[in-house]
Structure 1
Amino acid sequence: MIHSLTVILVILLLEISQISTLERSFLIKTIFISLVGTALEEVVFEICDCRVIESSTFSNSNIKSIIFNEYVEEIQENTFTGIANLKRVTFNNHGNNSDIIFKTNCMSNLDTLEEIVLPEGINLIIEDDSLISQTLFKMNIPENCNVDYRNLIKNCPKLRYSLPPHILILLYKNTLPHPILGFKLALVMMYSHK
């Protein structure tokens, strides 16, 4: 019974190190589709050079932990959707480029998710209100990370209806140039949230 996919991915991808990033993404997705129904609980990405994680890559609902020990640039739509038991996603390496982009609906319907761990020194770009409303408060964000709050508010019009008040204060405090003005707006948002 397979519980971790680390060794399988490393062996397969070391043998075919000359293929493009898109071909690697497709190969990884194919591997996961073929493992639907197995008791796989943890997936560790090592030496894959797979910067874009494709839509619906993880279709095995038994997966509880996904660890990226390599650079990931973009998490596409519906990437983690359908993993009913996912508890933790860890990004350990941000590589030379320091941006991680979370696309629309990449983490929708993840009721079991407990934590998203991000590496130090990244720029977090979120383009999805479902990620904000469900998982922003579960993110373990190191102090020297930059979250693009302006983009977040611009792209998430439903933000004020879905966030807890303490997150709203954090967002507006870090977005607006004047901290007092930001705090007043956050209070207005808190009232509309209730």
Structure 2
Amino acid sequence: MHRTARTAIAAAALTLLPQLAFAHTGVGDVHGFSHGFAHPLGGLDHLLAMVTVGIFAYQLGGRAIWAVPVTFVALMAVGGALGISGVDVPFVELGIALSVVVLGLVVAFGVKAPLAVAMALVGFFAIFHGHAHGEEMPADASGLAYGLGFMLATGLLHLAGIGLGMAIGRFGEAYGSRYVRGAGAAVAVAGVGILAGLI
């Protein structure tokens, strides 16, 4: 099996871990889990940023295919815990909008950042996304179930981004990277629209 395919399968398995934990702990409630799962899917800013993290990971290749998404999910969980606990994080909405612009530009320009830099970049923005998720948790939801829900949804969005990058890349070496970069540019433009309040 091709190394990239093996890495993608490993990333998919990692995204299932929260679901498995939820199934076996017996502590989560369905209400919290479903709300948590739906939250990243309900906002264009979250959707664009999380899918673009997957595309960015695909562009970097190698260990980044799993390390970049896992870093995002882990630090998003930290941000979520802060939001659930009522700990204030300044400029959350600005940070989320900027994440769409910056991640889109990184993909558009095909930035080959060192792995540590890529992980730090996505981790920084993940805290804002996580805080927004945590802050909007329903009062009657289980924090653990809610957190597992948004972590699983985010992991699946990262996988979608990796898959999208791979699918676009299949157009061929000559044009595949152009289309991937074009997708990044479109995301960055959408991010500017979100930042300006136009979207």
- The structure having more radius of gyration, on CA atoms, is 1
Structure number with higher strand proportion: 1
TM-score (norm. length: structure 1): 0.21
Structure number with higher helix proportion: 2
TM-score (norm. length: structure 2): 0.21
